[in-house]
Amino acid sequence: MASYNGNIDLLSLNGTQVLVGIDAKNPQRPYVCIPCDLNEIRVEVSKNDANRQMAKLRVNIWPFNEQYKNKVRQSAQERGDSNVSVPTHEMQLSFSVDYIKAIAKNFPKLVEQVKEANKEKDPNIVNENFNDENTHLFKAIRARMNKRIAQLYQPQSTGNTQPYPTQAYSAVNGANTYVPPADGSSDPFVPGADMNPDDLPF
């Protein structure tokens, strides 16, 4: 069985921030804070251990086509890089059908933007229903939302290691431990959240 490696860019997840000031014992320790509602992260209790929480993020892994890999090789050759590592797969966010429909229902401006971007290739898209999973419109909305978060490679031994990033981080006050709702609600939006369609990261 083939094995792969790569780096997931956590900051490419929707609405993610790097914050300090969360841990009272280590006030300068940076934390990557990822909004659950914008990434359809399911926070739930483990079925095997009632004291353990899990935060589940759906992903897809797809192979790159040969045309893309050839472009990577060509770009490396043009730069004079003879020892190029070519990615073979990509990892994408994978939103569920219900979540995509909820986003489309709550943010009609996003739907209109997708129609506008695709109407030259498919004029009928402007009349399609986003609730129909078989339409080009639904698939185009999903393609816009399911963005790449990592490139994966076949393992190669290298001596290169990347240093820990040194940059300014934002401080946060009054951070609290998240407790998932007891009612088991599947609503992808935080109740009462002030959601501005223009702020959507999709």
pLDDT at 82: 80
Q: 78, exposed or middle or buried, with CB in 10 Å at 0-12, 13-18, 19+?
A: exposed
3-state secondary structure the chain: CCCCEECCCHHHCCCCEEEECCCCCCCCCCEEECCHHHHCCEEEECCCCCCCEEEECCEEEEECCHHHHHHHHHHHHHCCCCCCCCCCEEEEECCCHHHHHHHHHHCHHHHHHHHHHHCCCCHHHHHCCCCCCCCHHHHHHHHHHCCEEEEEECCCCCCCCCCCCCCCCEECCCCCCCCCCCCCCCCCCCCCCCCCHHHCCC
Give tens-digit pLDDT for 43-82: 999 999 999 999 999 999 999 999 999 999 999 888 888 8
**Residue showing tokens 């490139």:** 151
Give tens-digit pLDDT for 30-45: 999 999 999 999 999 9
d(CA 201, CA 145): 9
Cβ atoms 95, 149 nearer than 8 A: no
pLDDT at 21: 92
Q: Running along the chain, 202 residues long, what does each successive block of 10 average in pLDDT? A: 87 94 91 94 93 94 92 90 89 95 93 95 94 95 94 71 61 70 58 58 64
pLDDT at 148: 94
pLDDT at 155: 74
pLDDT at 130: 94
Q: 147, exposed or middle or buried, with CB in 10 Å at 0-12, 13-18, 19+?
A: middle
